[in-house]
């Protein structure tokens, strides 16, 4: 009989883990998180791994290192890497208009004029598209747009039609807004390769890395974490649907969406996977991209590609291809060094890569929104830097 993995935690004498343990324990004891898996790699060596708390509180199932999570926006770097592989192969071009693959996807400019969205605008979120939860006027909501987290049973073609029916927020390249752009990019990848996005990602990313648990479906439902949302006195189990306030709107969740084969593969939010798989992908990028990408391509992905436009929205932080890029740690109020990469997932995840320190940190939890941008993420970052 194996021990609970919370007791199998492995560290190295060079990494002082007490503070990291304390950050995790505090979040669990305060009932801000139900469970978490935290992995830390330093200079290519995994120096910390811990599965803590419960994967399924109602059934008393402990968190394990190989627990599978609904990844939400942790999907984005994976699909972005797939697109960059196609760019390296000459099958996509950064400045190609997306109508080359999606001829009917033609949202207008705010004044009703024609817009030209290019591949690079999707990759760096300067396309003028948005998300329902980030809207101020409710246009996407009225059009019935799916953010790729809810609305099971919707096809990609139908969601693209709905997105395109709403005018862009700004001319492509003239602003920055986190958006459904990677869902649109997923449609382009499918059109170019002639297969589902799941098959494309398996061929381009997860297959070459030997990853078996990360996909647009759940390979082993017994290892899938339950989904919870912030509540008092403890996180609340999500039902068939959950509406969670976020930013200027709300995120509509349907946790069972991933089991519905008629639901489109959301390039921005549709995958499930394990912390080890995500660590492998991020470490591949940190080490320069092989065997997936050239070091030149990775270098392009790791610098701000927005022309400073994201800094106007979030000081100290730009956006490359697939992730945020720290441009000024002091302005961003983070302990990460300049040039670090970071992002998360709305089901309760956060990660960062600090190339100058050789650090990669993955924290997957089953609690929205604490695990993505709550006190836990702040405490964990501080503890990691104190530990080294």
Residue among 66, 318, 315, 41 at smallest CA distance from 176:
318
Give the number of C-alpha atoms closer than 13 A to the C-alpha of residue 56, restricted to the C-beta side.
13
For residue 381 the two structure tokens come to 């970052």
Residue among 36, 97, 35, 4 at smallest CA distance from 351:
36
DSSP code per residue over 126-143? -SS---GGG-SS-HHHHH
- DSSP, res 109: P
- Three-state SS at 84: helix
**Structural contact between residues 217 and 71, judged by C-beta atoms closer than 8 angstroms:** no
Sign of the four-CA dihedral 151, 155, 158, 160: positive
Q: What angle do CA 178, 385, 349 make, to 5 degrees?
A: 35
Residue 315 CB neighbours (<10 A): 13
Residue 145 CB neighbours (<10 A): 27
Q: Is 356 annotated in the active site?
A: no
Which is the catalytic residue, given 2, 73, 340, 356?
Answer: 73
Four-point Cα dihedral 316, 84, 155, 164, nearest 10: 60
- Three-state SS at 326: strand
Catalytic annotation, residues: 73
């Amino acid at each position: 009989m194996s021990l609970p993995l919370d007791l199998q935690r492995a560290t190295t004498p060079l990494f002082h883990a007490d503070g990291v343990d304390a950050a995790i324990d505090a979040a669990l004891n305060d009932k801000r998180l139900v469970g978490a898996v935290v992995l830390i790699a330093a200079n290519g060596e995994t120096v910390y791994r811990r599965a803590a708390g419960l994967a399924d509180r109602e059934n008393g199932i402990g968190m394990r290192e190989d627990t599978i999570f609904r990844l939400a926006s942790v999907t984005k770097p994976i699909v972005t890497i797939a697109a960059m592989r196609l760019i390296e192969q000459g099958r996509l071009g950064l400045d190609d208009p997306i109508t080359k693959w999606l001829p009917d996807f033609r949202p207008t400019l705010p004044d009703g004029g024609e817009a030209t969205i290019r591949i690079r605008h999707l990759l760096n979120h300067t396309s003028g598209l948005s998300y329902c939860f980030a809207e101020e006027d409710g246009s996407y909501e009225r059009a019935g747009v799916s953010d790729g987290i809810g609305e099971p049973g919707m096809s990609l073609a139908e969601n693209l039609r709905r997105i395109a029916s709403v005018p862009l927020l700004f001319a492509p390249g003239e602003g920055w807004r986190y958006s459904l752009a990677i869902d649109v990019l997923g449609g382009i990848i499918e059109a170019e390769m002639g297969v589902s996005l799941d098959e494309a990602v398996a061929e381009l990313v997860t297959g070459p890395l030997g990853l078996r648990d990360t996909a647009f479906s759940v390979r082993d439902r017994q290892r899938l974490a339950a989904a919870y949302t912030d509540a008092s006195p403890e996180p609340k189990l999500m039902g068939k649907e959950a509406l969670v306030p976020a930013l200027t709107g709300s995120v509509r969740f349907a946790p069972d969406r991933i089991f519905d084969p008629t639901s489109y593969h959301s390039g921005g939010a549709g995958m499930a996977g394990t912390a080890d798989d995500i660590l492998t992908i991020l470490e591949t990028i940190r080490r320069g991209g092989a065997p997936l990408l050239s070091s030149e391509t990775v270098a392009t992905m790791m610098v701000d590609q927005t022309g400073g436009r994201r800094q106007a929205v979030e000081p100290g932080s730009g956006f490359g291809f697939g992730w945020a890029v720290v441009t000024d740690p002091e302005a961003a109020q983070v302990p990460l060094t300049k040039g670090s990469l970071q992002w998360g997932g709305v089901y309760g995840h956060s990660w960062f890569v600090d190339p100058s320190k050789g650090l990669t940190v993955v924290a997957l939890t089953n609690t929205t929104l604490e695990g993505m941008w709550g006190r836990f993420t702040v405490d964990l970052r501080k503890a990691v830097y104190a530990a080294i």
